Structure 1
Amino acid sequence: MFTQSSVSLITPSKFSSISEYSWLGLLLDDQAVEYLEEFSMFHERFCADERQPTPLLQAWADLMKLTFKYWDPLIANFIVTASLNFLNSNALEARDEFHTIERTKAGRSLAWFLREKDGVGEAYAWFTFPKALCPDISLFLEVVPDLSIWIGLTNDVLSFYKEEMVGETHNYIHNRGWYEDKDPEFVFAEIVDEITTKTQQMRLVLEGREPYLNLLNTHLLGYIAFHKLNSRYRLWEVGLGKDATDRTVLGP
């Protein structure tokens, strides 16, 4: 999630932890349907300090415990909470009842509620400011809400093409469009404007504050680069990035 320019600002072990978190998140995102019971019981096992039944879930638990090494204890608590919400929202969306909801226009808040939970944006927002470099929480706290939203919305924009190509409509853009009676393309354009506004607002908050502003900028650029370099998002098909698929591993 971070660009090369930000690697010099964080330790290799911390960078590795964030990279592993990102990779595990992608893998777990696709496994809730197959391991619904294991996902649903994760919190209970985590609180009881019991081993998780699958290697991926155990690795997720181990990474959450590692956050206390690199971030302020209170911030680590927020990261763990967001990480737990991520798993729980995946389990929720894998349950049969979720797919039988009879939506009403009055329930429009559900669209962002689901996006905020399964997007784990808050965790990445806190990741931006490790305690060794950012000891004063008061200097960056104001940007955390907007950064959390920015991460979710940017992922929506950069995922939109690949999801449209396979007819995927269970996402925030389509959900918001249904509740607001707007075409997905119109919602997409609205979100791009919202991302631009939030970027400007966050930079204004951190103007003149270093290394906080530098950390923010490298995170924003790194987050976009992550999507451009990840073949999962197919962005090379629309002229962004390149196909980075390792053919030696996946074959032709």
Structure 2
Amino acid sequence: MNGMPESLTISSEDFQAIRVIFQDLFNQYDIPYPSSGSVLLDPSYYSDCCAYAFSKGYSVTPSSEVHRHIQIGSIMGQLAYGHLPDRAAQIYVAMFTAVLVWIDDVAQSDVERARSFCGCFINGRPQPDPGLELVAQTLHDAAKLYAPVQAAMIVNSALNFINGSVLEYDLRDMKLSPEAPEYPYFVRTLTGIAEAFAIMVFPSDVPFETYIQALPSIMVFANVTNDVLSFYKEELAGENINYVSRAAFARGVSKVTALRTIANETISADRRARKVLDADKQTREAYARFREGFTLFHVASRRYKLDDLGLWERP
């Protein structure tokens, strides 16, 4: 590694500390670090996802709002959920990811559009525009693929995410209280969609009791892996509205110290999930495929700028 990027605003000491934390995370996960941008989108899978959107009355073109997000969702589905035996489930998780990543962007650029969604959805009213209607139709389809309990949990997770995205915008200037240490993770659970992503790891015909006890740990893994691997790019951008920053304030420590603690928490959660699932071969293998693909999704995306850190080299 030839040194820190010229545009870096992080101190040299913190840069090296972040690098070591990330290296330790990958070593503990026992997942090889791949080259950034090394994953190619499966064109047939992407085409099937576009066809799904079209079947809901949404025309996918290069200029359509959700176009880029369907690509993101397709990569997530391809990497983290390609083990699912049902093609319809693979397409669904990609579209679920796509529409919620899109509405997250909407909440940041035009929060009133996102704010209108839940009221229309709960009251059974048509959404005010095609993008939001695609979100609604995608959520309704959970009941076609999953048992009622799992479908309700998936939809509830999505609604919490949309509400949480709006709340994050509305409360962005709210002063945090040091007497509310649980608040940072409360917000994170709202905006993580981890419950839905954890349930969708497993084929829909797998009995719920074979993996339900692992769900809390898988949810921590999904939420916090994302938080840890997003931290570097967010620090570069000077962002403070994220879980690591809130947790650092609540715990009275530096961001890097909070990052180290949070990384250790997700490593522990991953171990617990694997132990719970170890007795059942199908669920054990499904989670193994998910955890590797979910991590690769973040690493292979240039969005997270992890190539800057030279994680394949010794610190």
Q: What TM-score, normalized to structure 2?
A: 0.71
What one-letter code is carried by the residue in structure 2 that aligns with 1:169?
Answer: N
Distance 1:2 1:33 in 2: 24
1:126 — aligned with what? 199
Q: Does 1:216 align with 2:287?
A: yes
Q: Does 1:143 align with 2:229?
A: no
What one-letter code is carried by the residue in structure 2 that aligns with 1:215?
Answer: A
- Residues 5 and 192 (structure 1), Cα distance of their counterparts in 2 relative to 1, 3 Å cut: closer
1:62 — aligned with what? 137
Alignment check: 8 A CA contact 2:198 2:218 kept:
yes
2:181 — aligned with what? 108
Which shows bigger deviation, 41-50 or 231-240? Answer: 231-240
Shift, 1:101, TM fit: 2.0
Alignment check: 8 A CA contact 1:70 1:130 kept:
no
Partner-residue secondary structure (3-state), 1:99 = coil
2:158 — aligned with what? 83
Shift, 1:225, TM fit: 1.2
- 1:125-157 CA-to-partner distances (Å, cap 9, x unmatched) read 11112322x1x2111110111111111100001
- Residues 68 and 240 (structure 1), Cα distance of their counterparts in 2 relative to 1, 3 Å cut: farther
- 1:31-81 CA-to-partner distances (Å, cap 9, x unmatched) read 114332232221221123222123332221111111112211101100100
Distance 1:222 1:144 in 2: 17
Alignment check: 8 A CA contact 1:228 1:240 kept:
no
Of the three residues 97, 105, 119, the one matched with 1:44 is: 119
- Residues 131 and 3 (structure 1), Cα distance of their counterparts in 2 relative to 1, 3 Å cut: same
Partner-residue secondary structure (3-state), 2:280 = coil
What one-letter code is carried by the residue in structure 1 that aligns with 2:196?
Answer: A
Partner-residue secondary structure (3-state), 1:114 = helix
What one-letter code is carried by the residue in structure 2 that aligns with 1:117?
Answer: L
- 1:190-222 CA-to-partner distances (Å, cap 9, x unmatched) read 112111111111111111302111111111111
Of the three residues 142, 148, 166, the one matched with 1:73 is: 148
Alignment check: 8 A CA contact 1:72 1:131 kept:
yes
What one-letter code is carried by the residue in structure 1 that aligns with 2:165?
Answer: N
Structure having the higher Rg: 2
1:246 — aligned with what? none
The answer for unaligned runs of 5 or more in structure 2 is: 1-75
What one-letter code is carried by the residue in structure 2 that aligns with 1:48?
Answer: N
1:92 — aligned with what? 167
- Say how many residue pairs are matched: 237
Distance 2:78 2:270 in 1: 17
Shift, 1:229, TM fit: 2.2
2:27 — aligned with what? none
Partner-residue secondary structure (3-state), 1:108 = coil
Distance 2:215 2:78 in 1: 19
Q: CA RMSD in A?
A: 1.9
Distance 2:102 2:181 in 1: 29
- Residues 100 and 167 (structure 1), Cα distance of their counterparts in 2 relative to 1, 3 Å cut: closer
The answer for unaligned runs of 5 or more in structure 1 is: 242-252
Of the three residues 238, 241, 246, the one matched with 1:167 is: 238
Shift, 1:8, TM fit: 4.5
What one-letter code is carried by the residue in structure 1 that aligns with 2:275?
Answer: L
Distance 1:139 1:83 in 2: 23
What one-letter code is carried by the residue in structure 1 that aligns with 2:179?
Answer: A
Which shows bigger deviation, 26-35 or 200-209? Answer: 26-35
- Percent identity, aligned pairs only, is 26
What one-letter code is carried by the residue in structure 2 that aligns with 1:163?
Answer: E
- Residues 18 and 6 (structure 1), Cα distance of their counterparts in 2 relative to 1, 3 Å cut: closer
Of the three residues 9, 18, 22, the one matched with 2:97 is: 22
Shift, 1:5, TM fit: 8.6
Q: What TM-score, normalized to structure 1?
A: 0.87
What one-letter code is carried by the residue in structure 2 that aligns with 1:55?
Answer: P
